[in-house]
Amino acid sequence: MKFNLEEYPKKLRKTLKRFVQEEGATVNLVLPALPRRHMDERSLAMIRLGMFDESKISSWLVTTDEDLIFIKIGFIKNRVERFPLDNISDVEYVREFQDNTLKIIIGDAAEVVRFYDERDGIVFYQFMKNKSWNTE
């Protein structure tokens, strides 16, 4: 899958370029998504109403061939949290038909993630279920 860096907000592009150029990572998916720890009332309201501008989204989910990465866009610096795909044991729907919330099980912990667009949640779910690390 080929992606175009120019499609994304400037602050996110900087972090994505670092992944590609400095680390040699292959970026597979870049999706606007809110992990539970980044959820606030304003963000949840924007998702519910479908009134969000991609340039205003502050939380992104990125997958590379080796990692699942949460990026929180900051005023000065982006916060990046990485989880190796090998540590992810499952992805399951929490509320599939209501608000497209997924639970990502990472080792003994779990992270609930809500996608801005329901199609993004479906794309992410299918990508994770089809990854070779998940098949035995």
Domains and CATH numbers, the chain: 5-131 (2.30.29.30)
| Of 82, 60, 66, nearest in space to 14 by CA | 60
Confidence of residue 1 (pLDDT cuts 50, 70, 90): very low
In whole angstroms, what is the distance from residue 33 CA to residue 19 CA? Answer: 19
Confidence of residue 68 (pLDDT cuts 50, 70, 90): very high
In whole angstroms, what is the distance from residue 114 CA to residue 86 CA? Answer: 22
Structure tokens at 90: 């499952």
Q: What is the mean pLDDT of residues 39-48?
A: 67
Lowest mean pLDDT among 17-21, 38-42, 59-63, 75-79: 38-42
Percent of the chain with pLDDT over 70: 77
Residue 133 is which amino acid?
Answer: W
- Classified as helix, coil or strand, 21 is helix
**pTM check: above 0.95:** no
In whole angstroms, what is the distance from residue 57 CA to residue 130 CA? Answer: 27
Residue 21 is which amino acid?
Answer: Q
